[in-house]
Amino acid sequence: MNVMNRSEEFMRDDQQRLAQAVREACVEAALKAYEEAGVSGLCHEGRWEIAVDALRNLDLAALIDPVDVHSRSGKVSS
C-alpha cells in the first residue's frame, strides 16, 4: 500500500510540474507576443489578438516531451 501511495505522489508531482511548465510557457508567449506587437505599432486590441494567437500556437509537445521534439527537429539535447 505504501508503494502505491508513493507512486501516486510521484505522478501528482509530475502533473504539477507539467502544469507549471505549461502556465509559464503560456505567460511567456503571451507577454512576448504582446510586447512585439506593440513595437510593431499595434493598438492594445491588436496586441491582445496577437497574444491570444501566440497562446493558440504554443508548441505544447515541446513541454510534454522536449527530448523527442528536439530529436524530430534535428537538434540534440544535452
Exposed / middle / buried, residue 37 (Cβ in 10 Å: 0-12, 13-18, 19+): buried
Decide: 34 and 48 in contact? Cβ < 8 Å.
yes
The residue with greater pLDDT, 2 or 63, is 63
How many folded domains does the chain comprise? 1
pLDDT digit string, tens, across residues 10-54: 788 888 999 999 999 999 999 999 999 999 999 999 999 999 999
- The parent domain of residue 47 ranges over 2-73
Q: Tell me, yes or no, whether 68 lies in a domain.
A: yes
pLDDT at site 74: 47
CB 51 within 8 A of CB 37: yes
Within a domain: residue 35? yes
Domain contains 78 = no
Instruction: Please check whether residue 38 lies inside any domain of the structure.
Output: yes
